[in-house]
Structure 1
């Protein structure tokens, strides 16, 4: 177990832990306040049953201490009710902790008063004091600075009560020494309880995160099996059926060539699906990719030239960029993969002789890259699903091209690895624009 005597968990974990324990602290405050009120009310009612208690020394002050504890408990309950019930949001951390700290200090002061003045027994001066500090240490979680503040306030209150008790110098010194020892023990006991709860909470969070990862991995495996079962079964069925037809002897050479072409297409479809799955699995294992300072305009020119040679004039592909170079931290191969996936989509859903535009510009130290087509657009109902892995938003292209539902998911993953973001804007029958934002470098 890791101890947090003069420190706290890492900032990322601390914020989550604080949200948890401030809520628990308020619940414990409610329980302690109700118990304190009940016990104090019972003590005040005792003289009505046993009148002889009214004749004890300092009975009036003793009654006053219990009334003050009842008042403090009721006040704390009122504030706690306003904080937790008056709003649906969790109260700010410092407000909840300040309330718990204030009630803890009031409780300790009540125990001090009962110990020193109500009992007036120097030989038994630390019993209730020790009980109050022990209760606070076990009940509430405070940061180490908050605990030190509580120790300092308690020490001041102890000094004041000792002065009011009119003890001899020897007894006062002895009580101060014992108080110092008790406060040191209280501090470390409080920090041990805090450390125990912090470690327990962080372990639970780690287990939850691991469970989520396992669920995601299981879901991914199921999705991959679904793709393999669905997308690969169809091409292989086609190959099997066409092969059985080729075995017949009454086919013309033209028919044989046609069937062989269909087999080749089915094999290419299967290969593309397998390559997409392998690429996705390989990228997921990489926590970071190597980046270097590259001119994005130069890379886009290369992409445009490659695609123009593939399109052979069937689509009008244009590139707009400023005359000056625009630099970004890029991985050349993966950036090409992003652009290939986006342009492949644009080509599939843009009719013959349609226009496709690549445009890049710098804006507020960011590079804004857009891929725009004049295609059929994306229905609004499937836009939220576009970047999901094995997306159900996948559609056949205008020429019947199939989709694995992985392309845009890979795009988003690669863009995020570059420290950027990707979004889409589309209108049916008018076209689609993919927006990529990347950090610019000088």
Structure 2
């Protein structure tokens, strides 16, 4: 029997194409404030399902209620608070408004994790840039400056001394769109835990059902690019069994501390010499996770999100992965640059382990490293039979990028 699902959507880890592909058996009703949507997105969503304007939440909720929805989902941090408010109006099971706040406000989140006995870095909140010196004195150096509400490593900076901190904090506040930041102790990872050629952090893709873990999968990361930009993912992840189980335990405890109950959670952990430490918890699918889970295990993550939303217990596949999936993000260098030429980067598709090379930026475009992962200029995706083969593919990608990609001063 077809079930109606409200999808709160302005952006997210699931694309409209993925939503359409996994919507068989569901009627999707998209709830979005149309005045805040990117150009063309409403028309694209309308090709998948009905679009309801919720700029006026009360009026929008009344329209949604008439559709008699059985569940509600969201796929981006930006949309979680709205989804929680609409769920309350519609009487649908979803994260509480307090849990949605905890999943999207880094200051609130760190307080709750600390109070639950989990290890967190020392942290302070900033309402003005001139508070950064006192904050730095409290948390120590090096430290990290990041928005209280933000994603994709946007406007995240390393702070090494008070003068540097004052300059970067002033720039961050002046950039607009963010009125609060946190300064936190920079966690020191242990490279030997993850192993060579991998980043010193991972994410645990966690599916919750009625507050209990129904499924967990480790997602290894490639090393960060300066200052804190994600460069790629490998799924299933590569960690010794004991470390993986410890990561699963910490991820579950973090979800519980925030009061999260149902659906996909994306929990990032730093791998330190003393064990995994929570970097942050996102109450949604992680970026590229749906695609990689399907390529590795045949898991239809978006469909499962719909199932959980309407109250169906998820049935997860068992067994070994069919392949190791990976995603490599091509990032611009730090500085003020324009992309001059892609060279022969597209030729990477000739490799048997490369599925696609997508060049996002065009020659002549100005590129901005400060946008974090959202400043990605290209994406390479592929699969391999073994983890070792993935790392060989990554080395080939990086050699090609170093030889072919050309930037010039902006």
TM-score, with structure 1 as normaliser: 0.22
Counting strand residues as a fraction of each chain, which structure ranks higher? 2
Q: Which has the higher contact order (CA 8 A, sep 6+)?
A: 2
More helix by share: 1
TM-score between the two structures when normalised by the length of structure 2: 0.23
Q: Which has the larger radius of gyration?
A: 1
